[in-house]
Amino acid sequence: MGEAYVPGLKVVRQVVLTKERHLPLKGEVLVKAGDNVSADTLVARTFLPGMVELVNVSNHLGIDPGELKRSMQKQEGARVEKGEVLAKISGLFKLFSSECLSPISGKVETISHVTGKVTLRRDPVPLSLPAFIPGEVKSVIPDEGVVIESQGAYIQGIFGVGGETWGTLRFAVMSSSEILDAEKIQDDFCEAIVVGGSHVTAAAIKKALASKVRGIIAGGIDDEELRELLGYDLGVAITGQEKIGMTLIVTEGFGAIAMADKTWSILRENEGRLASIDGRTQIRAGVIRPEIFIAQTSQTSKMGSEDPQASTLSIGSKVRIIRDPFFGELGIVTALPKALQALPTEAKTRVVELQLKSGKSWVLPRANIELVEES
């Protein structure tokens, strides 16, 4: 029987999940190994360097750059407040004086007697790192972060936007094929993670934002409505940094696609629990999938040794297509030809033969699918 290795999409009821939490810069770790943390527990903190602001002092005062030294009231390394005098000159008998005020609060970083410009750096920006998932701190990474271990249900979506958030899992629909429209968004969904069925509409997302919903999980979304929500085309860049006020994860693809039975069942079993979700997605050049984690307390089997990027594909494997024209469709592998086959582009590659859930048979490159791992 033929086998291959492809990216895997995990839909798992019970796992032990190990999550590393890293600061972008070295800082201070606030917890110790053995501590129990909740999703909103701050585990580490640091300060990001402030933005730089250039002030053309010589131009403002109408002097040559070489005269800057005697006019400066603040020297390099000095603290300066917004509106404080940065430099000044006085005319004859102190008449017709002129001042250059600091536009920001911060520090004088450099003074150039060649350009006549002064570089100011804004105050450092504090950054706190939350645990994101509830669990136990297994180890501390000195000055950088922690490793947290937790157990519960774990689901990878196919696409998402928005970063990390968490909230109580609430259902807005009764079935996995039901559309999530604006009428189904309730006022008491505030700060919740709302589950829809086959499709979430742009109107529902807008109402959810007004209701301060933290996240939405649904089977699919129309690409035009996603464009309307974001205000631009995403392209192929990594997602997760969108400033839309919430996180959106679709589990199946674009269009009205009913949520997979296994995914729906796991979410339904955990209604009312805390769900931690992350919409970051990258399909090409290092796969990153949006994640849903629901902490539980029952005994689980360990997942830490599994490699989500190197899962075994074989005859009978359940897969999802991750390229057009069948993006999001599920299928069963019927054959794994060993010989390279020519594509319409004249490129040669290894292919896979599928029986799609819709009943169609199709042959496509193995790079266009990912394994759906269920347990």
Residues 258, 206 share a domain: yes
User: Does 219 have pLDDT greater than 60?
Assistant: yes
Nearest partner of 17 among 139, 131, 167, 154, judged by Cα: 154
User: Does 113 have pLDDT greater than 80?
Assistant: yes
Residue 300: inside a domain: no
Q: Confidence band (pLDDT; 50, 70, 90) for 8?
A: low
Domain end marker among 122, 139, 156: 122
The CATH code of the domain that includes 329 is 2.30.30.30
Residues 348, 215 share a domain: no
Task: Tell me which amino acid residue 308 is.
Answer: P
User: Does 114 have pLDDT greater than 70?
Assistant: yes
How confident is the model over 278-287, as a mean pLDDT? 79
pLDDT tens across 12-21, in order? 999 999 999 9
Residues 38, 59 share a domain: no
Q: Confidence band (pLDDT; 50, 70, 90) for 308?
A: very low
User: Who has greater pLDDT, 4 or 30?
Assistant: 30
Angle at 33 between CA 29 and CA 37, to 5 degrees: 75
Average predicted confidence (pLDDT) for the chain: 87
Q: What's the maximum distance between 2 C-alpha atoms anywhere in the chain?
A: 97
Domain end marker among 122, 142, 173: 122
The CATH code of the domain that includes 250 is 3.50.30.10
Q: Confidence band (pLDDT; 50, 70, 90) for 138?
A: very high
pLDDT tens across 322-371, in order? 776 777 778 888 888 888 888 777 677 888 888 887 788 888 887 778 77
The CATH code of the domain that includes 101 is 2.40.50.100
User: Who has greater pLDDT, 202 or 287?
Assistant: 202
User: Does 68 have pLDDT greater than 80?
Assistant: yes
8-30 burial code (b ≥16 CB/10 A, e <16):
bbbbbbbbbbbbebebeeebebb
In the prediction, which pLDDT does 303 show? 45
Q: Answer yes or no: are the C-beta atoms of 17 and 150 closer than 8 Å.
A: yes
Q: Confidence band (pLDDT; 50, 70, 90) for 306?
A: very low
Residues 187, 114 share a domain: no
Q: Confidence band (pLDDT; 50, 70, 90) for 235?
A: low
Nearest partner of 310 among 6, 3, 10, judged by Cα: 6
How confident is the model over 199-215, as a mean pLDDT? 95
Residues 71, 217 share a domain: no
Quick one: tokens of 35? 């501590």
Q: Confidence band (pLDDT; 50, 70, 90) for 375?
A: low
How confident is the model over 59-69, as a mean pLDDT? 91
Residues 265, 144 share a domain: yes
Q: Confidence band (pLDDT; 50, 70, 90) for 137?
A: very high
Quick one: tokens of 298? 């029952």
pLDDT tens across 161-180, in order? 999 999 999 999 999 999 99
User: Does 98 have pLDDT greater than 80?
Assistant: yes
Residue range(s) defining the domain that contains residue 96: 52-122
In the prediction, which pLDDT does 96 show? 66
Residue 22: inside a domain: yes
